[in-house]
Every structure is written in C-alpha cells, then in structure tokens.
Amino acid sequence: MQGSGAYPRLPAAAFAKTQGKPTAGYSAGGSTSGYSAGGFPAPQVPNFVSRLAPPQTSVASGTSPSPFFGGTLACNSCPSAHVAARPVGATVTKSSPCAGTLQTRLPASQSSVAQSRQQQEQLLTELGLAYTGLEGFDEAASVGQVQLGTSMQSQLRNLMEADTPRLLGSPTHLSLNGFSSPKAWACASSSPKARAATARAQELPKPGPEYTGPRLEPPDSPIDLDFAMALVHHFQHHRKVPLPARYLWRLLDEAERVLETRDKDGPVQELKLSQATASNATLRPPRPGPDPQMILVGDLHGQLSDCLWIFYKLGVPSPTNRYLFNGDICDRGENAVEIWALLFAFMGVWPESVHAHRGNHEDRLLNMDFNCGGFYDEVLNKYGRFGSGPMIYEKFARIFAKLPLASAINGQVFVVHGGLSRGPPGSFLRLLRQNRSRTPEVPAASAAASAADLAFVDAMWADPQDTPGSSPNPRGPGLSSFGPDVTEKFLQATGYALVVRSHQVPSNNDGFFVHHNGKLLTVFSASNYCGLSGNQGAVLVLKGDSSVEAVRHWAPPFDRLAEVIIEAPEVADATPASIRKSRQMQRSATAGALETQVQAQASGKERAQRLHKEVLSGAARLVVERKAELFAFWEQCDSIPPRGFINKHDWEEGMKAILGDSLPWKAIGKVLRVKDTVTKDVDYRAFLGRFRVCVVGNGPAGGERWAEELLGRFYGRLLALRGDAGSLEELEGFLGGDDGQVSSDDALEAFRWVLGNYITEDQSRSLLRTLAAHSLPELSTSGRPLGVFEFLARLDICFQHQASMTQNVSSSIAARQSVASPWAKSVLSHLGRLLWTEDSGGSPKAGSSRMLEVFRYFDEDKDGLLERAEFSEAVKRLLGEYARDLPEALAAETASDERVGELVDCVDISGDGLVNYLEFLHAFQPVDRTPGGGLRMDLMEQICTTIWANKASLLRTLQVLEEAECEASMQAPAGRVSQGNLRRTLRSLNASLEAARGGTHGAPLTADQIDILVDHAVFDDSGTLDYPAWLNAFQVIDMCASTEPQSETVVAAGGATAATGGSHRI
C-alpha cells in the first residue's frame, strides 16, 4: 500500500484529459480519486477532474489481467502508482513509471489468447450497451404509463358516474393522482392506506422461534447500536430471511417521524459537515478526533451486497461518518427492503448519520411497473399479498412522499438524484422548494404540469448532455436533458461549486463520471449493475475541508462477503488515532485483494449468457409493440413482387428507424439470430411472428384458454384424419353441408362431433368469434357464413398459434418438424410466402383460394389427396416456377430426391404416406400466417399486446377502483374486480389510448374485442376476478425456442417456461 492515505490513490495521469482514450495505471482494488484538498472557490472554480476512462488492454510485467476491462491492475511495485488528492488549481503532470511495460510484445500463442479475450470483452461491451439502452426504453415506457394511468382514472370516473348505481356513502369521485379523498379514506379503517397511517408495531404478531435474527422487544423500545449492528450481520449472512414485519414497522415508524421533522424545512436540505449529537444511542458520539465526512452513495437498486461492502470499506453510519443516499434504492434488485431497514436502523440510533434523497424509483407507480419496477412485488412477496404486505407497501409510499428532493452540503456541493431543470437555472431551487406537499408518485410531465411539478420531475429524471441548452430526453415523454451552460448558470446563480447527481450507469462503465468541464459529477454505487453491466461502483467522500474523494468498489458475492467482519464505530477516546488508521488501512488492503480475486474469478461466459437473455427479452418487448410499423418499413425494402425476405442491412435500418438508432442493432441481431441459416437473408415476417404476447398458464386470464384450445384441438384432430377421410370431398361435405358454407349451425355440429357434446351453443358462438378474430384484415360480419376452405385456413391460424403453446396438441408435428433439415424449412417458408401472396391481394379468403387452386392443380388423379410422387413433383415444379424470386440456395437443382423425401416426411403429419389438403395448407402457411400487403396481426395477439403494454396503468387503476368500492363497503381490498368493472376499466384504457394518439389512429380495441377479452376471463362464483394474476398472465413468448436450441438455452436460462411445449416466456 503506497502513500500515507487510507486508500490507494489513482495515478496523477488519470486526471489529464483523455478525450475518451484509455488511461494506464487503473487500480481494481478499491481505488480512490482525489478531487480537491482545499475549499471550493465559488463560483469561479477550476475543473475538479477530467473524464476518467478505463485502462488500455495489455499484459505487463508485474500485473494481472483485469476480467472487467481486459486491461491491467495497478503495479504495486511502482512507488508513484498512487498520489494524494490535489488542491484546486494545482498542476498535475502526466507520468507513469510503468508506461514502458505496456509496449511488451507478446508471443503468438499469448497474442491469440489476448485477441480472443479482447473479442470477448468487445462483445460484452456491446451487449452491456444494448442492455442499458433497452433498460432506458423500459423506463421511457414507465413514464408513459404514469401519464396514462392518470388519464384512465379520469375516464373511469366518467364511466362510473354515467352507468354505475352509486352505493350510499360511496365516494363521489376518484382523484386524478390515483388516490381517493383523505376524508373518504378516514372511514375505511381496514384499508392498507388507513392502517399505514395508524397501525403500531405492537399490533403486528411476534415472530416465532424459527426466526433467529435480531429482535426489538418491546417494539417501542429505543433503537440502539447493538440492534443496528445485529441487523447488519443478519443481512450479511442471511439476506433471504426478511426482518419480521413487527420490527420493520418499528423502523418505518421511526423513519417517518424523523423525515416529518426534516420536511418542515422543505424539500431541499441544508447539510453541514459538523459533528452531530447522539439520540437514543447507547454509544456516545466520538469526541473530536476523526474528521467528519459525508459519504455520497449513488443508485443501489436493491443490491444489498454493495451497501454492506461500502459499510465494510468506509464504516457504518455514525455521527462523524455520515451518509447521504442519493435515491434509487428501490427496484431491479431483490433486497431494497433490507437496505431501507439498515438505513432506518442507523437513523434511529443517530438521526443525522443517515440522509436519503428521493429518486425516480421512489415512486409507487414505477415500483409496480412489470418491466423496470420490482419493489412492489418484493414487499408483497416477503410480507404477503394480503394483510401486512400491502400495509407495509403503503407505509413505504408515505415515506417516499417525505423524502427530500435535494441537498446542499456546506453551501458548496449541490446533490440531486436526476439533474437540473429545463427552466431558468436561477429559478430551479425556488421552484423545487415549492413542492412542500408531495405524493408518493412523481408528478407527470404533462402539458398540464406546473413549473414546480416540472422542476420536481427534472430533479428525478433529467440527464446531462454535451450540447448546450435543454432538449427532450429519450428516457420518456416530457423528460429533459440539460447542457453544460445550464450547469454553469445554475452554479453562478446559487454560489455552489459542484453538482453531484446519480441516476444512470456512467458511460465509461466506471462508478463515477465527470461532465460539463468538471462542474457536474455522476456517481453510481451498484457495481456490476443487475449482475450484467460489468461496471465499477463508487461513492464520493466529502471532507470537512471541502475535499472530494471518489472511492471505487466491486461488491463481492455474499459467500465471500461473509468472510469479512463489518465493525461497529470506534470511540475516539478509547481507540488511539494510530490504531484506527491501521485498522482502516488493513480493511482497505483486505478489500482490495478480495475485489481483485472476485473480478478475476468472474465468469465472462456466464455474464455473456445472462446478457444474451436480457438483451433478447428487451428487444422482444420493443418488437411486440411496434410490429405494424416495422412491417411497413421492411415491406418497402422487399422485392417486387414481395418475397418476405430482406437483407441484414435493411433489417438493421428498420430497427433504427422505428425503435431508435441509439442501440447497437448489429450486436442485437446476433443475439436474435435473424438471418436464415441457408440463404443468409432475413425472413422479416418470421421474425415478427417469433415474439408474441400471449396468455400463459391456466389462470384467470385465459379461462384455461378454452376457446383457442378447443379450436386448436378440433383442427388437430382434422389434421390427423388418414386416407380418404382427409380428402377435399370429405372435408367439404363434413363441414359445409350442401352449400359449401360453414354456418353457425354447421360449426356447432362439427365442434360437437369432434369435441363431444359438452360444448354449449353459447360456447360455439364464442369459438366462432375467436375464429373471426384470426381473420384480419377482413373481419367477418356477425353471422356471415364462411366458405369451407376459408374456414379451414382460419382454423390453421388458430391451430399454429395454439400448437406453439401446448405440447399435447403439437407433439407429433413438433417431432416431424424437429428433424426437418434447414433446406426443408427454408423451402416451406419461401414457397409458402410466394403461394399465399401471389394474386391474393393480401386477403385471407383469396390466399386460401389460391392454396386450394394449387393443391387441385397437382392432384393429378383428382382423389383429393397428393401421393408422395405428386407432392415431390409439385415441390420441384414450384421451385422452378419461382426460381427468379428464390435465393440461389433454393434453386430447383438443390431438390434432390433425398431432400424432397425429407420434406414429404415433414409435411405428412398423419403418417399415412399421403398429403391431404390440411397438411398441405399447414405446411405452406407463412410463419406470420397472414399474407399480403400489410402486417395482418392475429387479433388475439393484438388484444393481448394492448393489455401487456399497459399492465402498470391497469394495475393501479384497478386498485383505485377496488379501493373506492371498499370505502363504501368498509372492507379491505382483496385484489378482485367484477366483470362489469373489468369491462369499464378496459374501456377507460381504450379511450385514454385513443386520446393519447390524438384521435388520428382511433382506439386500439373495439367494443367487441373488449368483450372477447372479458369472455375469456374466469370469474369465481362471486363474480369477481383476481386481477393481479389476470394481468400477470399476459407475457411475451418466444415461439422459436423449441426449434432453436441455442435460443432456448438463453431465453429459458433465467425464466420460467411459459408452457409445456417449446415456446418460452421472455
């Protein structure tokens, strides 16, 4: 350990401007960077630091390779490898005694290994950028959900006032911010909100003897240091054992009391680095000796290991070792509750030892978001979905509303979670201070938002940019980014010297980043964010003399974290300064060695696999919402006549144009494996059909998926007809009677013949309605009979959808398709697309007529069946006829007898050696199953996608609706909704989405489609539905998981299987 400081310092060369170039001498083992050793001369303050970049890749003498950067660790033998923090204005020269070793030439074998490692690191970097970029899209969607939820509740109020008889004593309105009136809640003493305001820890049950963690009895006794340290050690060794609700409630109560007291000074705190007085402490505060310091902690996102590791390296909170957590403790990770418990425990011992800001994830609506939230589910999973769980969540919501929005430390360092405001820089603080009364939700950045609301939003969400001024932020609608001139003007107006914010992983993948000529710092403390980003974590240490020090870290996993001892604060007069310093240096040395070992042992392969899964999931979520736009773009890139195939460049351009050019689509394309393995082009219709939103499981949303399941089972049995039973004549006579049309009565008779007499007439009509739902763009009018072969074509669409979800229906088909060669799959895909699109005008009816015409053409003996020789001849003739429209890899010359024989085996589902019309239709049905000049999305998928994309706003709106009813009935919410209220909620969603579109594109759903959705839901005997389970049933499914083993490994690795078949939930 070099130097006299407690921690190894970053080399002086790191402070020189690198302009994005690598910097040598990086220390992976808990390195620190000094910013200032003197006071901040405000406002004319020189740059604190320049941008820090990761070190260059090399293998030097005396160093070991860094598994994160692929570079070098600091050479401990170099006496000048670390330097002390420099004063403001001091000149630093760029020097590195180890620089000569970086040019060492490697042997060929080592060079190959180094090149392979470099390629792996490059891939991980690209995937990491894709992951963080896709995460940004999720956050943008969450912002839109907040705004949509507000609109939905307003629409719902209007609907209920229009057509709902009002019970005596029920509330007269629902407020726009998602809450009923406080007066109304006062009469609902059993509601989670009411209990959160009035309940006491003594009312909650004592934990049983199976709980061996720390106890606080009686729960109203003072919170002391022994309990706080016992909690630290409990979570260090037993992170999966939650603190019992009784004791957590005591901590939440104490935190709310402290925050209420602080909130009297407003939402912007003035903090001083002076020794605080003790309160409820069994250990008296240290006497003057250790210099007081403030440790600024950035986003943790539920990563408890980072919090505990920071406590180990820098000490737990105490009057002289104070902490300021800069928001975003919630969501993403699994242990946000435990982090809050630790903070509130030390706050209970020494209130001034812990401060916490609000971040954009301290928001009750964002916590409920299914893609970028998680805290809501964390609380309910640990404390129950009924009873204590909702009450504890409401208690956290009350605390969120009292968290400060920003702080000024010593009148020099301004700390805020997001950034600065889009308004005049001089008015930002005034507007921010106007938010004295805050709700658990961050305000929506809508057109109706006040200037104070927008300042609140910017404090939570704003990001820095390199260009001057303010501009829209790609994170979401209504959000902003701010430039260096905004920062400069803000500092000049306020007299502050530095702005510190958090909110995002630094672009250099370090734990901190310097913006705006050294006047703005980003600090991010969740190392290896979500186990995927590979970033360092860091904290900033502010001293009483206004120096700022950045301390990097990489939190070890819990099994290694258990090896260290997190100590209680030391008493100044009981422990000599030399002993304290020695212990501190020993902790630093241990931490550095352990971090180096952990990073060296980190599995790049495991991380790459996880990144593959997350990138695939994120890309799928984007694709399912923008299918129509993507199809329209790629259709313009297709040939004339369209084949349904484009090159990889056109695929990337479409993704950039529709989904944004900020993502590395080339790398994402590799993860999605979009190119055909034979022709190397992209079947864009197959790609768009790969990811679908479906109802999974047998829960309340699908009614056990009875409609599609029965249709699929019906068609599957028709496919299994052998010999003459599957001929055209038999099918037409069986389904169409004398006139060749399938009426409602014909369909009911056929359904009952195949499926049994237990199907009712009403269920038969619902089946036909579902069948019509698979006929876009030509919706059949109610009661209009279908032609037999149009009926069969639509049934095949339903069947292929159901077959991808249920192994019982498709096992024989999947077995045959699994042995099909890539050539056979490509032939069926390309020929099927051409057959369906030629002269069909994009109509399902015309397409099915064309397929029937082709089948009859090659049925030379007119027996309604194709023998193997007839089918083989048909394939060869079609390959020759469409030669100009097919890739060279599918030329007629490639159709050897062996290959055609494999193709026949794949198509002959019944295994009778004959190809009947249903098998022919099924084999050549395009993957998207809807041919023509536009994307003919399956209607049920479109309905499901609408629900899936708006689950967060639906969840909160259904909660508000249930809460309003419970106020009148004096009952506790149970997570259930009636059929009528579900329909009203969906209508409010429809109207809100139509309004959000400006009325130009119309509503996404029709009244009939909403009825279809409600028809498929399962209500209990009381006529109510479990709406959280109903919403959770809508998931994005990868339809190709069964046919792509590598994809299946990636997608299924960390997620649950959606069904017993090959498809997997994303």
Burial of 854 (0-12, 13-18, 19+ CB in 10 A): middle
Q: Count CA atoms within 13 Å of residue 1000 on its CB side.
A: 2
Q: Helix 108-163 vs helix 604-625: angle between axes, to the nearest 10 degrees?
A: 40
The CA–CA distances, whole Å, from 765 to 416, 504, 712, 717 equal 59, 53, 16, 20
Other Cβ atoms less than 10 A from the Cβ of 231: the count is 23
> Per the structure block, which two tokens stand in for 352?
């001034």
Pairwise CA distance, residues 17 & 594, whole Å: 31
Q: Are 1054 and 720 in contact (CB under 8 A)?
A: no
Q: Count CA atoms within 13 Å of residue 515 on its CB side.
A: 27
Instruction: Tell me how many degrees the CA angle 345-346-347 measures, rounded to the nearest 5.
Output: 90
Q: Are 420 and 486 in contact (CB under 8 A)?
A: yes
Tell me which of 82, 301, 361, 417 is the catalytic residue. 361
Element (H, E) at 522: strand 520-523
**Residue 638 has what DSSP assignment?**
S
Element (H, E) at 304: helix 304-314
The CA–CA distances, whole Å, from 871 to 640, 859, 876, 896 equal 28, 9, 9, 14
Q: Decide if 503 is catalytic.
A: no
Other Cβ atoms less than 10 A from the Cβ of 99: the count is 13
By C-alpha distance, which of 296, 335, 385 is closest to 1028? 385
By C-alpha distance, which of 816, 799, 699 is closest to 754? 799
Q: Are 516 and 49 in contact (CB under 8 A)?
A: no
> Per the structure block, which two tokens stand in for 403?
């968290």
Q: Does residue 887 have a cis bond before it (omega within 30 degrees)?
A: no
If DSSP states are collapsed to H, E and C, what string results for 688-729? HHHEEEEECCCCCCCHHHHHHHHHHHHHHHHHCCCHHHHCHH
Task: Give the max Cα distance, the chain.
Answer: 106
Taken as a whole, the chain contains a residue count of 1066
Residue 24 CA to its chain's centroid (Å): 35
* DSSP codes, 674-691: -B-TTT-SEEHHHHHHHE
Element (H, E) at 324: strand 321-325
Q: Are 433 and 267 in contact (CB under 8 A)?
A: yes
3-state secondary structure of 1066: coil
> Per the structure block, which two tokens stand in for 841?
């005008």
Q: Are 515 and 482 in contact (CB under 8 A)?
A: no
By C-alpha distance, which of 252, 140, 234, 141 is closest to 195? 252
Element (H, E) at 581: helix 577-601
Q: Are 733 and 1048 in contact (CB under 8 A)?
A: no
Q: Are 695 and 936 in contact (CB under 8 A)?
A: no
> Per the structure block, which two tokens stand in for 591?
């931490």
| Active site members | 361
